[in-house]
Structure 1
Amino acid sequence: MVRSALALAALATTAVPGLDVVATRPPQATSSEYQTTGLLDAGGRSWVVRAPLTTAAGAALEGEVALLSQLVREVDEGRLPFDVARPVGFAELPEGGRAMVHRALVGRPLELEELTAGPGLSAALGRAIAAFHELDAAVIADAGLPVYDPDAYRKRRLAEVDEAARTGRVPAALLNRWEHALEDVKLWRFRPTPVHGDLAPEHVLVTDGRVSAMLGLTDAHVGDPAEDLAWLQASAPEESLDAIEEAYALARTESADETLMERALLVSELALARWLLHGVRTGEATVVEDATEMLHQLADEVTDAPEIGAREPAPGWAYEPDETDAAGQIDEPDEAVGDDPEADDPDAEQPDTEPDGDDAPVEPDSAGATEDLHLGTKLPDFLAEREDDSETR
């Protein structure tokens, strides 16, 4: 049920006793699964209320809430160098599910054009992703979210390719390329890690050249870390990739994964197959036709490209499968970004006014996705001209 911004504001006052809302403000976003509205209270503080629009979205939001309770501790204890949403209250919805209210997070959505060569935001982003991957897998498992070993993950992706093949719309060259990669044993010797699962520019907030927060954790799980790097390999400026990958590798404490970026390439290509399947499952003919066109364009792009996994791994990257503890911490984590302990109390005195510019709190809508359909911005950048059409996803 889609509600007006004022109706969501009313829900927020129910969820957080004493919250005196004086205005609605950005973000004002509605996706197929969530509705999000920003609020301003009488004390000048910014809030965000997010309500699920489907039963599946409601269940996913509950999983995210359980995870956030774990992640807040990781932030406060310095194991994550960025903040996450801190739920303050909930309002039951008549149709089922709950709306969640939290203080707006500091920062603005990442713009890929900001990623450049060398140290700076590119390296900060690599370290931030690595910090999430360094978390103990129990953080995810204890929240009741999925845990996949390499073979289970590989079989899920292979089943996805098989389903896409049955549509008759995927070029044979792509099917052969993907199946060869999925059957290449050396690609799948990775250690499962906590994975965000839906990283995209709107889910990464930045300020002062660093990552200040991560959003949209409804698809978090333990699985292939390549998922969280695929969107960058596909869409980030090419000159920024070395800085991102180097910072990421240096921030990981375990022996590195020599085929990580090869799998990331595969994940970015498979996003097109998922887009096709989304259109088939929902009966959206325009999506099916668009995905079909993009798949044929991708087939042309990779005609002369080496097979996935054929390139030599970066020097020094070697996985040691006999290690049992994948969890670790970066040696020198950045200072954690956390809210004031009194932030949960809307009546507590908070003299700071809203920051301007890069420091303004922003909470883009976390559109969410089904467990098997992580679309986000994982489409290759050569499809950027279709950006307007892709907003319907």
Structure 2
Amino acid sequence: MPRSPLTLAALATAAVPGLDARSAHPVADPGDYDTAVVTDDDGARWTVRAPRSPQAGAALEAETELLASLQLFADSGVLSFAVPRLAGFALLPEGGRAVVHPALEGTALDVDSLRPGPGLAADLGRVLAAIHELPRSIVDDAGLPGYTATEYRERRMSELDEAAATGSVPTRLLRRWESALEDVSLWRFQPVVVHGDLSPEQVFVARGRVVAVTGWSDARVADPADDLAWLLASAPPEAIDSITEAYQLRRTELTDTRLTDRALLVSELALARWLMHGVRHDLDDVVADALDMLADLDEATRDDA
């Protein structure tokens, strides 16, 4: 059962000495967490997150290890944006811990507002490149997963096989995706540190630039296309070049000539993963949503067949 904002405020009070909570409101969290922003008697705002399952708790523990390393890169200026600065922990009755950090500056990214040029779109490209330039040791030290290019391609193939077994994926899409997965040249990439779960809710913006990135529990060493896919799929077409050009200029040794092609493929395969999420958890509304999007994609790519 989800925890109420009042319960989360009590956890924040227990986690941070001197924090006197005055109000709390829930925040939608894309992960398996209860999240709220708590305001204290001085007007300061704090974010508290508590896992809903042992699996989410383990992911949160790994994320806290990673955040300690990321903080060093943010403090030194290697990263141009802030990450959550952990302020305290509160033990949960069922095991695990809730974490508390000062609320991040900015508002969630409005992807539709992106425009071409040297502004926010280009800054997004540089932010993604900076993440991908981080040393993989910070992921290894946090106990988060790492993959080779071959292993990651095999994961994608396994995901597609699982989705195909439902009989719900349009045949033409299956052929399209199978052909791309069999194209070995598409999968020649250097694995890098990736955020792994980027979305508008994870990227905070102020003054026309990215000021903070949160939600690092799915970080791993994997395909850089994972972090580009959501942007290339959802950003206005006229802003895409500004994102990709800034990204390429910020990367020091980028030889991945098929990165954009693979990112577009990854954005399509996300629909199959969404379908499987609904199937595994018996979420009829999610399954229906995924089927509608698969049908739309099948129609949109009909001329590509």
Q: Normalising to structure 1: TM-score of the pair?
A: 0.75
Consecutive unaligned residues in structure 1, runs of 5 or more: 307-393
Letter in 2 for 1:47: W
**C-alpha offsets along residues 279-334 of structure 1, whole Å, 9 cap, x if unaligned?**
1111223322332232122111111127xxxxxxxxxxxxxxxxxxxxxxxxxxxx
SS of aligned partner of 2:50: strand
CA distance in 2, matches of 1:287, 1:103: 33
Measured after TM superposition, the shift of residue 255 of structure 1 is 3.0
Matches within 5 A, 1:266-285: 266-285=265-284
Change (3 A) 1:31 1:176: closer
- Determine if the alignment matches structure 1 residue 86 to structure 2 residue 85: yes
CA distance in 1, matches of 2:299, 2:3: 44
Q: Which residue of 2 aligns with 1:6?
A: 6
CA distance in 2, matches of 1:31, 1:128: 21
CA distance in 2, matches of 1:146, 1:32: 17
Letter in 2 for 1:168: G
CA distance in 2, matches of 1:200, 1:280: 22
Q: Which residue of 2 aligns with 1:326?
A: none
Change (3 A) 1:115 1:295: same
| Sequence identity (%) | 57
Computed over aligned residues only, the root mean square deviation of the Cα atoms, in angstroms, reads 1.4
SS of aligned partner of 1:90: strand
Change (3 A) 1:289 1:255: closer
Q: Normalising to structure 2: TM-score of the pair?
A: 0.96
Q: Which residue of 1 aligns with 2:209?
A: 210
Contact 1:114-1:121 within 8 A present in 2 as well: no
**C-alpha offsets along residues 311-358 of structure 1, whole Å, 9 cap, x if unaligned?**
xxxxxxxxxxxxxxxxxxxxxxxxxxxxxxxxxxxxxxxxxxxxxxxx
Change (3 A) 1:115 1:30: closer
SS of aligned partner of 2:144: coil
Q: Which residue of 2 aligns with 1:332?
A: none
Q: Which residue of 2 aligns with 1:295?
A: 294
- Determine if the alignment matches structure 1 residue 48 to structure 2 residue 47: yes
Change (3 A) 1:32 1:118: closer
SS of aligned partner of 2:27: strand
Higher share in helix: 2
Q: Which residue of 2 aligns with 1:39?
A: 38
Measured after TM superposition, the shift of residue 32 of structure 1 is 6.9
CA distance in 1, matches of 2:60, 2:220: 14
Q: Which residue of 2 aligns with 1:370?
A: none
Measured after TM superposition, the shift of residue 86 of structure 1 is 1.0
Q: Which residue of 1 aligns with 2:253?
A: 254
CA distance in 2, matches of 1:166, 1:48: 41
CA distance in 2, matches of 1:122, 1:160: 31
Letter in 2 for 1:211: V
Letter in 1 for 2:18: G
Q: Which residue of 2 aligns with 1:171?
A: 170
SS of aligned partner of 2:290: helix
SS of aligned partner of 1:87: coil
Aligned residue pairs: how many?
Answer: 305
CA distance in 2, matches of 1:234, 1:32: 21
CA distance in 2, matches of 1:297, 1:203: 27
Could you say which structure has the greater relative contact order, defined with CA pairs below 8 angstroms and 6 or more residues apart? 1
Measured after TM superposition, the shift of residue 161 of structure 1 is 0.5
**C-alpha offsets along residues 95-145 of structure 1, whole Å, 9 cap, x if unaligned?**
121110000111110001221011100001100110000101111111110
Q: Which residue of 1 aligns with 2:24?
A: 24
SS of aligned partner of 1:212: strand
